[in-house]
């Protein structure tokens, strides 16, 4: 496939873009308390410009200080920001990219702890997210707000930005005015579609008046707010038409709201889920459209543009997963793309793996967000490296080492590489984890790392290979706690089912352990008409999962009829169930056909003593060192790969 449509130039007003790839606005979490982009921010955007994105749109940038959404939000409210933000535009231009500044005000989504003033919105209705008093903008203040947008655009233009985006999506100020959910005004800024859109219209027009008709302006809106009485697709079509009438040069089509959710979507949402809605907007406007929504495959991206459903594709979390997505597509290296899994375990306000691992990043691509610090450089001295274990940690380490010039051999005792990370792809909507293993293998092949499966590392192999360095990445094994009866019962592990070694259908199943593994296993077993019960000692299931993803997972389990027993401590395992301590006292839960243990993992490092006896340099990474989230394993694999 030549992906011709994705690389045809396109115009936004007077500006020509070299391709159809857009990096949309996201909170990179790298802006500073001085309301500017940090050096890391600049490196982050520059990497994506170098990676081939035709257009990049900044994190949201406040047009007035009383509109910031987070304490570090970058700003445009005075002229001092012109020189402060110029380095960002210059960095993108260095690589032939174009960049727009996203103009924003949080409105009723502000918090007084951030702004220092009483929050204002279209009406005196508080945000359900903050429950703080909100004062309605006066009519005069609405007109003044349009001036703030115009002045912010003037500064952006002076700083070298190629255009601006007026942010009307995600239930920020302009979206609030457009939404029946919160706009209860009785002046010209409420009442009907034109009234509710009036402020957005004035902001677009004011930008054009101040910066000139030729200065590009995009308008971002949501196709659905997921609020009872909020804006929906029909509303979005009307607002897109009104934005075009107001002078917008393109419509950037997003989804979700700060209260209703789904601005950032987990793996349970199908790739391209927002495309059909975008196509309806495209049918009703004559200016270009941009669509976002889990677009993580170049074939899907090409289809969207080629079929005319949208003119450009915005790769949000996908641009975090792989900053070189457009470049790899253009060069025919699609097998090397790290495809976003929708796991949200590192990009979505998640903690890093160590002190210096801050800001937005990706579980599959720990280099993301560290562009100014992490570099893969040719090794000064070529070494022979043997890696035991072809899970995510071992494979990540292998390709990085091989790219640096080392001779790498990676041994895996199973017939297939991937370890527990591959098994994680088996439950519904998790297939992109398997794609990650495919990418790792392609990179290993490209750089010459040899992957040997079906072979367990022994002292004989170590003596035969005689490596300079040994990397132990043997992963984790199921935790088997000393519970009474555990040695007598016929117990299966999650890996038995997910690997296909054990098939369970139309049975009454008890899963002991309600962490993420246990809950996703329940999802898998629900497909085969099993009656599943999960017991968990803690007060909530899948506690370690990302909040947004967990909400969806719990709802899916509920709809499938999965019985969820929390605050339940297993005292004894019986032949057909358990004796447990529950909130209602001690009781027996019996009559189950299958018992499955999913109480967590422990490190599996059987080669430590053998490797140490070789007198070689030995490193232990990932779950072999300590069982944790996969982001730690991949992070440690990359870090060792760069330093060895």
Half-sphere exposure of 231 toward its Cβ, with a 13 Å CA cutoff?
35
Coil, helix or strand for 578?
Answer: strand
Quote the tokens at residue 609: 């003593």
How confident is the model over 78-97, as pLDDT tens digits? 999 999 999 999 999 999 99
DSSP 617: E
Confidence (pLDDT) at 548: 86
DSSP 350: -
Contacts of 116 (CB under 8 A, 6+ apart): none
Tell me the whole-structure pTM to 2 decimals. 0.94
Pure H helices in 404-484: 419-423, 432-447, 459-465
- Say if CB 534 and CB 541 are below 8 A apart: yes
Confidence (pLDDT) at 592: 97
Half-sphere exposure of 585 toward its Cβ, with a 13 Å CA cutoff?
0
How many helices and strands (H and E) does the chain possess? 20, 28
Half-sphere exposure of 644 toward its Cβ, with a 13 Å CA cutoff?
33
**Distance between CA atoms of 431 and 90, rounded to whole angstroms?**
39
Neighbours of 9 (CB within 10 A): 10
Confidence (pLDDT) at 13: 97
**Distance between CA atoms of 379 and 644, rounded to whole angstroms?**
8
Confidence (pLDDT) at 129: 82
Confidence (pLDDT) at 134: 95
Which of 44, 60, 149, 172 is the catalytic position? 172
Confidence (pLDDT) at 261: 86
How confident is the model over 521-550, as pLDDT tens digits? 999 999 999 999 999 999 999 999 988 899
The whole-number mean pLDDT for each consecutive block of 10 residues of the chain, a chain of 644 residues, reads: 95 98 95 96 97 98 97 97 98 98 97 94 91 95 98 98 98 97 97 98 98 98 94 97 98 94 90 97 98 97 98 97 98 97 89 91 96 94 97 98 98 96 94 96 98 96 96 96 92 95 97 96 97 97 90 95 96 96 94 96 95 94 95 97 96
Confidence (pLDDT) at 349: 80
**Distance between CA atoms of 313 and 528, rounded to whole angstroms?**
37
Coil, helix or strand for 596?
Answer: strand
Rg (CA), the chain: 27
Identify whether 172 is a catalytic site residue.
Answer: yes
Pure H helices in 292-411: 298-306, 317-321, 325-330, 392-403
Confidence (pLDDT) at 162: 98
């Amino acid at each position: 496939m030549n992906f011709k449509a994705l690389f045809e130039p396109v115009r936004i007003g007077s500006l020509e873009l070299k391709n159809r790839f857009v990096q949309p606005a996201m909170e990179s979490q790298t802006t500073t308390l001085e309301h500017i982009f940090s050096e890391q921010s600049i490196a982050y955007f520059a990497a994506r410009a170098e990676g081939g994105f035709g257009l990049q749109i900044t994190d949201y940038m406040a047009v007035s200080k009383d509109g910031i959404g987070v304490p570090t939000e970058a700003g445009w409210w005075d002229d001092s920001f012109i020189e402060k933000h110029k380095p960002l535009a210059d960095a993108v231009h260095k690589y032939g990219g174009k960049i727009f500044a996203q103009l924003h005000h949080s409105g009723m989504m502000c918090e007084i702890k951030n702004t220092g003033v009483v929050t204002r919105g279209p009406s005196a209705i508080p945000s359900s997210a903050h429950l703080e008093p909100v004062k309605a903008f006066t009519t005069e203040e609405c007109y003044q707000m349009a001036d703030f947008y115009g002045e912010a655009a003037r500064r952006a233009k002076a700083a070298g930005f190629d255009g601006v985006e007026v942010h009307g999506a995600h239930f920020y100020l302009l979206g609030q005015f457009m939404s029946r959910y919160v706009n209860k005004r009785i002046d010209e800024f409420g009442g009907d579609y034109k009234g509710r859109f009036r402020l957005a219209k004035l902001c677009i027009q004011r930008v054009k008046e101040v910066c000139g008709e030729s200065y590009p302006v995009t308008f971002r809106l949501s196709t659905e707010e997921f609020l009872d009485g909020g804006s929906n697709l029909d509303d979005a079509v009307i607002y897109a038409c009104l934005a075009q009438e107001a002078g917008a040069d393109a419509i950037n089509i997003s989804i979700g709201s700060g209260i209703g959710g789904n601005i950032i979507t987990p793996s349970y949402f199908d790739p391209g889920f927002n495309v059909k809605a975008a196509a309806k907007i495209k049918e009703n406007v004559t200016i270009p459209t941009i669509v976002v929504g889990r677009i993580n495959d170049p074939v899907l991206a090409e289809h969207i543009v080629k079929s005319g459903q949208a003119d450009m594709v915005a790769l949000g979390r996908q641009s975090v997963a792989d900053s070189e997505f457009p470049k790899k597509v253009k060069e025919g290296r699609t097998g090397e793309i790290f495809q976003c899994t929708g796991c949200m375990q590192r990009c979505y306000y998640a903690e890093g793996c160590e002190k210096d691992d801050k800001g937005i990043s990706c579980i599959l691509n720990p280099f993301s967000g560290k562009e100014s610090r992490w570099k893969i450089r040719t090794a000064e001295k070529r070494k022979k490296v043997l890696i035991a274990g072809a899970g995510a940690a071992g494979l990540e380490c292998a390709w990085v080492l091989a790219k640096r010039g080392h001779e790498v051999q990676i041994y895996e005792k199973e017939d297939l590489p991937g370890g527990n990370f591959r098994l994680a792809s088996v439950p519904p909507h998790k297939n992109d984890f398997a794609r990650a293993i495919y990418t790792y293998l392609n990179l290993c092949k490209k750089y010459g790392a040899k992957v040997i499966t079906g072979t367990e590392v022994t002292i004989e192999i170590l003596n035969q290979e005689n490596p300079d360095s040994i990397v132990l990445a043997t992963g984790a094994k199921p935790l088997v706690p000393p519970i009474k009866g555990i040695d007598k019962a016929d117990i299966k592990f999650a890996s038995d089912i997910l690997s296909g070694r054990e098939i369970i259908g139309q049975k009454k199943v008890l899963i002991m352990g309600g962490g993420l593994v246990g809950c996703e296993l329940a999802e898998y077993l629900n497909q085969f008409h099993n009656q599943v019960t999960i017991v968990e000692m803690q007060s909530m299931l899948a506690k370690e999962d990302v909040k947004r993803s967990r909400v969806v997972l719990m709802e899916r389990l509920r709809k499938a009829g999965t019985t969820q027993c929390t605050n339940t401590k297993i005292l004894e395992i019986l032949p057909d169930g358990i004796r447990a301590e529950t909130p209602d006292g001690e009781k027996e839960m019996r009559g189950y056909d299958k018992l499955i243990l999913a109480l967590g993992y422990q490190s599996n490092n059987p080669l430590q003593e053998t490797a140490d006896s070789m007198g070689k340099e030995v490193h232990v990474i990932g779950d072999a060192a300590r069982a944790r989230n996969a982001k730690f394993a991949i992070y440690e694999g990359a870090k060792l790969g760069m330093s060895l």
